[in-house]
Amino acid sequence: MVRSSEIMANVPIDRMKIIFIIFFINGIGTLLPWNMLINADKYFVSYKLNVTDSTPTIDNYRNSFLSYLGIASKAPNILLQLINMFISTQGSVNLGYRITYSLVAQILVFIFIIAMAIVDSSGWPSIFFWLTMLSAVAINLANGIYQSCAYGLAARFPMKYTNSVVMGMNVSGTIAAILMIISIALSPKENLEALIFFSCAVIILFICFIGQFYVNKNEFYRFFATPSMLNSNLNLIKSINACPSCFEKGHSKTSNNNCPHLSRSLERAVSYDGKSFHDKQPLIESKTQQYLQVFRSIWMLLLNIILIYVVSLSLFPTVHARIIPKDNIISSAYFSPVFCFLSFNLFATVGNLIAQYVQWPGPRYLIIFSLIRLLFIPFFLYCNYYPGDSLHRSLPVIFNNDWMYIVGSITMAISSGYLSSLCMMYAPKCVPSHLATSSGQMAALTILLGILIGINISLIYPCLVR
């Protein structure tokens, strides 16, 4: 019989939460390119594409810039995530190398975007527009690999590490919004704003890059990230009837029957192909069968993810950024940066933090709240939303008060962060441990699918309002 004290002596701990912090920083990096580009909306629309000899084509580029940018960003991101998911990702070193190379590629593209901010493109706005779209495609091809690998690795750790990536994603938007507000305050010229803004993106991605060199030497990271080592150690942990997630915290005497940790509660509550998680599951060799097995187990969670992100990303930022302030709460120059970009990302992070401590409802009942969130769509369309340069709209404005919009925006953001965290935390725990990486990658891919669908739906809203 293996004594728990002997096993505890050999189990590493995440000292000073360094690995948790590194996953959090990687979460910031996974959505940083997207957040940096959409927060610089006014730089592209009001400066680079705002030329004196404008044509209907240039006007179309300006009015639908965020929608074009969304498609150019998310379609290649999804494609690379899909390819990355089907290529062998069992080794932690393999995933780590992919993260490193993808970060280098993103840094190089941002340097090109900075160079474009310096160059005078007023004589060739169409060429600038398509160079920007190609830059978005290139940076998101690399980011698709990065995001998929980050979630795939985090899925092998206790649930809070997956949530740290999700929190990082929303903090990424908060950082981008704060940097844009600072850039506006520091510089009266849009090209200098962009120069400061995008340079900060390079610095943050470089910090993510440096972090990859540390994790491969960390004992705790190798314990969970290396499949062969993790399976061996989990067998020892199970021999003393302990919860792996609680065991990592040092609670070696916590048994399967009274463990308060959510991952064990989920394992008891959620059936997998009609069997308990504690039943022995045969290993499936075929990758296609493995993905089908994962999909059958978490399809409802994937549907929740799609609904959550379709609602959020069809409204943010394309609708929120076009809400016209009426009550002079702050200067109009800061209204969109503060109450659209900063507010959404900040309160989505608050929702992530709540999910770290409160996990309700369970996987089966999340769909109720995801469907209720569909009501946000008509709510914001009946706010002071004006999609074009004209202040004319055919739909009446029902919610004319700025505070009604702000409260609605905060509510949407918190619910988005909270429910998305629950889905991402539940997914790897609703499948056998050897399929956790595939489950995490499939959930990450579904996030991008929901974002892409939401962005395309946002193209319909101007037609409904005008």
- Describe the crossing of helices 343-357 and 402-429 by its angle, rounded to 10 degrees: 40
Q: Above 80 in pLDDT, residue 113?
A: yes
Name the residue among 61, 38, 68, 71 with its Cα closest to residue 125. Answer: 61
Q: According to the model, what pLDDT value does residue 266 have?
A: 46
Window from 16-30, 77-91, 132-146, 368-382 with minimum mean pLDDT: 77-91
pLDDT tens for each residue of 121-155: 888 989 999 999 999 999 988 988 898 888 888 88
pLDDT bin (cut points 50, 70, 90) of residue 4 is very low
pLDDT at 236: 52
Q: What residue ranges do the domains of the chain occupy? A: 14-217+284-465
Question: Any idea what DSSP says for residue 452?
Answer: H
Identity at 351, one-letter amino acid code: G
Highest mean pLDDT (candidates 16-20, 47-51, 79-83): 16-20
Higher pLDDT, 15 or 263: 15
Question: In this structure, how many other beta carbons lie within 10 angstroms of the beta carbon of residue 260?
Answer: 10
The mean per-residue pLDDT over the stretch 293-301 comes to 90
Mean pLDDT of 232-241: 51
Least confident segment among 8-12, 76-80, 137-141: 8-12
**Which amino acid, residue 76?**
P
Task: Tell me the two tokens of residue 156.
Answer: 């092998």
User: DSSP string spanning 30-50?
Assistant: HHHHHHHHHHTHHIIIIIIS-
1 confidence band (pLDDT: 50, 70, 90): very low
Closest to 408 (Cα-Cα) out of 303, 323, 466, 337: 323
Helix H or strand E encompassing 231: helix 227-239
More confident residue, 397 or 1: 397
Q: Which long-range contacts (CB under 8 A, 24 or more apart) does 298-303 make?
A: 298/426, 298/427, 298/430, 298/431, 298/439, 298/442, 298/443, 300/363, 300/364, 300/366, 300/367, 301/363, 301/366, 301/423, 301/426, 301/427, 301/430, 301/443, 302/427, 302/442, 302/443, 302/446, 303/367, 303/370
If you average pLDDT over residues 20-27, what whole number do you get?
92
3-class DSSP state for residue 205?
helix
Cα(75)–Cα(77) distance, integer angstroms = 5
Between 156 and 111, the more confident residue is: 111
Average confidence (pLDDT) over 453-463:
88
Instruction: Work out the number of other CB atoms within 10 angstroms of the CB of residue 275.
Output: 11
pLDDT over 50 at 273, yes or no: no
Contacts of 89 by beta carbon, 8 Å cutoff, 6+ apart: 95, 149, 152, 437, 441
The whole-number pLDDT of residue 233 equals 54
Q: What is the pLDDT of residue 420?
A: 94
Please state, for a pLDDT cut of 70, what percent of the chain lies above it: 82
Residue 248 has pLDDT above 60, yes or no: no
Q: Is the per-residue pLDDT at 353 higher than 60?
A: yes
Round to whole Å and give the CA distance between 155 and 161: 8
Task: Determine the distance from the C-alpha atom of residue 306 to the mean position of all C-alpha atoms in its chain, rounded to a whole number.
Answer: 13
Query: How far is it, in rounded angstroms, from Cα 293 to Cα 283?
Result: 11
- From CA 14, how far away is CA 222, in angstroms rounded? 11
Distance CA 83, CA 2 (A): 42
The end-to-end CA distance of the chain, in Å, is: 73
Confidence of residue 72 (pLDDT cuts 50, 70, 90): confident
The reported pLDDT for the residue numbered 88 is 56
CATH architecture of 14-217+284-465: Up-down Bundle (1.20)
Q: How high is the mean pLDDT of the chain?
A: 80
Q: Which residue has the tokens 């290529």?
A: 87
Contact 102, 143 (CB under 8 A): yes
- pLDDT of res. 408: 96
More confident residue, 83 or 464: 464
- Higher-pLDDT residue of 370 and 425 is 370
Q: Is the pLDDT of residue 362 over 60?
A: yes
- Measured from the Cβ of residue 295, the count of other Cβ atoms closer than 10 Å reads 14
Give me the pLDDT at residue 11, please.
63
User: Distance between CA atoms of 336 and 327, rounded to whole angstroms?
Assistant: 14
Residue 433 to residue 267: CA distance in whole angstroms? 11
* Site of tokens 């395309």: 456
Q: Which of the pair, 134 or 35, is modelled with greater confidence?
A: 134
Residue 419 has pLDDT above 80, yes or no: yes
Scanning 327-435, the segments in alpha helix (DSSP H) are 332-336, 343-357, 366-372, 376-381, 402-429
Rounded average pLDDT over 387-404: 86
* Angle in degrees, CA 62, 66, 67, rounded to 5: 105
Helix ranges (DSSP H) in 119-158:
125-154
pLDDT value, residue 389 = 66
